């Protein structure tokens, strides 16, 4: 039988984390909580892809500094972004001289990189791992949709790729927050073809992972202080809430979504909210992990959600599969 | 819930674009652009420029303005509200050509700008010419008969 849930015998600790964001994110509700931001979104680089890489570099640098670790103390980097062949991660993290693993899980990459780091550290293969992810509105828009200056109208279900990056140091030693359990998600395709409604495309994956987890652990949503999904936005958030309720799980009291809250959707005209792997990474680093450290939250589920589409799959008329990886993070063991 | 049911469910609950308001906005912005074109025509004619030249000058001026606005990042902010109002007149075509050009300049003059400048407007040019050719054949046949 497949081992669905990984229960870490030696729960690894997220010893430090850092977030770097762009201007719109800084203007959003969590504006003051991010470590660094650049008003121009360019981070002093000539192309958007390099700007995104620079965000990852700054985020990892800062996370290492906070943990008082040097590159030679980090055994491996697990990193990813949305750009073809993980260009931003590969180039942005080039100068660190740390063994590097590039990941693509679309917007679930933050959870994926944390999950893999936690596995490697808990197994004892590595002592310290870095999980780094980013997305940049301009590089993603250019690759997946239209040129930046192209004048088009976005439907209400569209989401805005966040210009954001988050870096986490996962260590075998440390005082938490601890990653105590993890569960890999299965790709789930429910036939949604509309690339302007990614929330609906990814929600079934989140629902599949969540209900699988609740059944296997025999728990219910209210057993946790908070359940945080990555970037389902207003649309996907509503679908998860609705369908989970039909399955007998009341998510209402504890459920939130990073895409839903990263922007002030009305004032910033963000339609269905934020998306991108930087969205959940930056919010976890800037807000939720801090809340665990302060004791406001004690036991949370974080579900990174990704839409596994490419420009080619959309043009060939294929539907959009989603994937959702789950992490259970606790303040104390 | 199977795939079909889910698709229906997702489509049903998704908030629709405000078509009616969008149409009104498009009507007025499109109208303003066309009236502006008419104004330009009158001004040019006022200078005593020949009819033939005015026919060229008006679209060239509108294209020029749309390109400048695209370059300054203003066009997409207007188009966001105007929709078809800016898309349908020649301003939309100008933006569709210049925006990929701006976007791909980092990939070089040949493989970037040169290869990608018509990624959005290319289909319009291709099928526009194709339908022109088909119409030409029909015209030729009807003239012969």
- pTM given for the model: 0.94
Phi-psi region of A21 (alpha: psi -120 to 50; beta: other; left: phi over 0): beta
Closest partner CB to B100 (pick from A147, A154, A189): A147
Q: Is the pLDDT of residue B138 over 90?
A: yes
What are A159-196's pLDDT values in tens digits?
Answer: 999 999 999 999 999 998 999 999 999 999 999 999 99
Domain that holds residue B17: 3-103
Q: List the one residue out of B100, B68, B20, B61 whose CA is nearest residue A148.
A: B100
Q: Is the pLDDT of residue B145 over 80?
A: no
> What is the distance between the terminal CA atoms of chain A, rounded to a whole angstrom?
28
B1 neighbourhood in chain A, CB within 8 Å: 190, 243
> How many separate domains does chain A show?
2
Among candidate residues A171, A194, A224, the one where a domain is terminated: A171
What are A2-34's pLDDT values in tens digits?
Answer: 889 999 999 999 999 999 999 999 999 999 999
Q: Tell me, yes or no, if A40 comes closer than 8 A to chain B by beta carbon.
A: no
Instruction: Give, as one character, the DSSP assignment of residue A288.
Output: I
**CB-CB neighbours of B136 under 10 Å:** 10
Q: What DSSP assignment string belongs to B106-140? A: GG-IIIIIIHHTTTTTHHHHHHHHHHHHHHHHHHH
User: Across residues B9-14, what is the average pLDDT?
Assistant: 94
Claim to verify: residue A132 and residue A47 sit in the same structural domain: yes
Q: Is the pLDDT of residue B87 over 80?
A: yes
User: What confidence tier does B109 reach under pLDDT thresholds 50, 70, 90?
Assistant: very high
B83 neighbourhood in chain A, CB within 8 Å: 153
Q: What DSSP assignment string belongs to A255-268? A: EEEHHHHSS-TTTT
**Which CATH number do you get for residue A231?**
3.40.47.40
What pLDDT is recorded for position A176?
A: 85
What are A51-100's pLDDT values in tens digits?
Answer: 999 999 999 999 999 999 999 999 999 999 999 999 999 999 999 999 99
Claim to verify: residue A248 and residue A310 sit in the same structural domain: yes
Q: Tell me, yes or no, if B6 comes closer than 8 A to chain A by beta carbon.
A: yes
What are A275-318's pLDDT values in tens digits?
Answer: 999 999 999 999 999 999 999 999 999 999 999 999 999 999 99
User: Across residues A36-58, what is the average pLDDT?
Assistant: 97
Claim to verify: residue A233 and residue A153 sit in the same structural domain: no
Q: Tell me, yes or no, if A204 comes closer than 8 A to chain B by beta carbon.
A: yes
> How many separate domains does chain B show?
1
What pLDDT is recorded for position A141?
A: 94
Task: Provide ipTM, 2 decimals.
Answer: 0.89
Domain that holds residue A100: 8-171
Number of Cα atoms under 13 Å in the Cβ half of residue B107:
16
Give me chain A's average pLDDT, please.
96
Claim to verify: residue A33 and residue A161 sit in the same structural domain: yes
Spell out the SS3 assignment of A130-161: EEEEEECHHHHHHHHCCCCCCCCCCCCCCCEE
Q: What DSSP assignment string belongs to A93-104? A: TGGG-S-EEEE-
């Amino acid at each position: 039988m497949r081992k669905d849930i990984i229960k870490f015998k030696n729960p690894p600790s997220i010893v430090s984390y850092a977030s770097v964001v762009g201007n719109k994110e800084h203007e959003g509700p969590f504006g003051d909580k991010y470590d660094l931001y650049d008003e121009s979104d360019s981070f002093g680089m000539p192309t958007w892809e390099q700007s995104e890489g620079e965000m990852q570099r700054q985020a990892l640098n800062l996370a290492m500094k906070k943990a008082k670790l040097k590159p030679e103390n980090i055994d491996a980097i697990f990193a990813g972004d949305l750009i073809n062949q993980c260009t931003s991660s590969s180039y942005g993290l080039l100068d660190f001289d740390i063994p590097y693993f590039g990941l693509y899980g679309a917007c679930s990459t933050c959870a994926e990189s944390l999950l893999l780091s936690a596995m490697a550290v808990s197994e004892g293969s590595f002592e310290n791992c870095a999980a780094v992810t980013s997305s940049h509105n301009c590089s993603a828009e250019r690759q997946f949709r239209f040129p930046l200056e192209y004048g088009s109208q976005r439907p209400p279900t569209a989401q805005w790729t966040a210009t954001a990056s988050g870096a986490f140091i996962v260590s075998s030693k440390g005082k938490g927050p601890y990653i105590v359990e993890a569960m890999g998600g299965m790709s789930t395709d429910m036939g949604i073809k509309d690339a302007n409604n990614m929330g609906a495309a990814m929600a079934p994956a989140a629902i599949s992972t969540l209900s699988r987890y609740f059944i296997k652990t025999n728990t219910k949503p209210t057993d946790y202080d908070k359940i945080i999904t990555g970037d389902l936005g207003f649309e996907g958030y509503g679908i998860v809430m609705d369908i989970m309720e039909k399955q007998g799980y009341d998510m209402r009291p504890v459920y939130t979504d990073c895409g839903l809250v990263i922007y002030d959707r009305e004032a910033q005209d963000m339609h269905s909210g934020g998306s991108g792997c930087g969205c959940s990474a930056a919010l976890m680093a800037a807000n939720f992990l801090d809340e665990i450290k302060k004791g406001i939250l004690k036991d949370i589920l974080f579900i990174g959600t990704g839409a596994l589409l490419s420009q080619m799959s959309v043009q060939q008329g294929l539907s959009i599969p989603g994937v959702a990886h789950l992490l259970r993070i606790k303040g104390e063991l | 819930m199977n795939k079909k049911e889910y698709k229906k469910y997702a489509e049903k609950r998704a908030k629709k674009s405000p078509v009616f308001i969008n149409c009104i906005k498009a009507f007025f912005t499109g109208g303003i652009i066309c009236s502006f074109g008419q104004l330009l025509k009158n001004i040019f004619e006022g200078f005593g420029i020949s009819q033939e030249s005015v026919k060229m000058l008006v679209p060239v001026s509108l294209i020029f303005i749309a390109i400048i606005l695209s370059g300054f990042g203003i066009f997409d902010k207007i188009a966001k509200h105007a929709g078809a109002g800016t898309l349908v007149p020649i301003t939309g075509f100008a933006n569709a050509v210049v925006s990929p050009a701006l976007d791909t300049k980092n990939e070089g003059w040949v493989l970037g700008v040169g290869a990608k400048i018509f990624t959005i407007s290319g289909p319009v040019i291709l099928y526009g010419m194709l339908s022109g050719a088909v119409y030409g054949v029909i015209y030729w046949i009807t003239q012969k008969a």
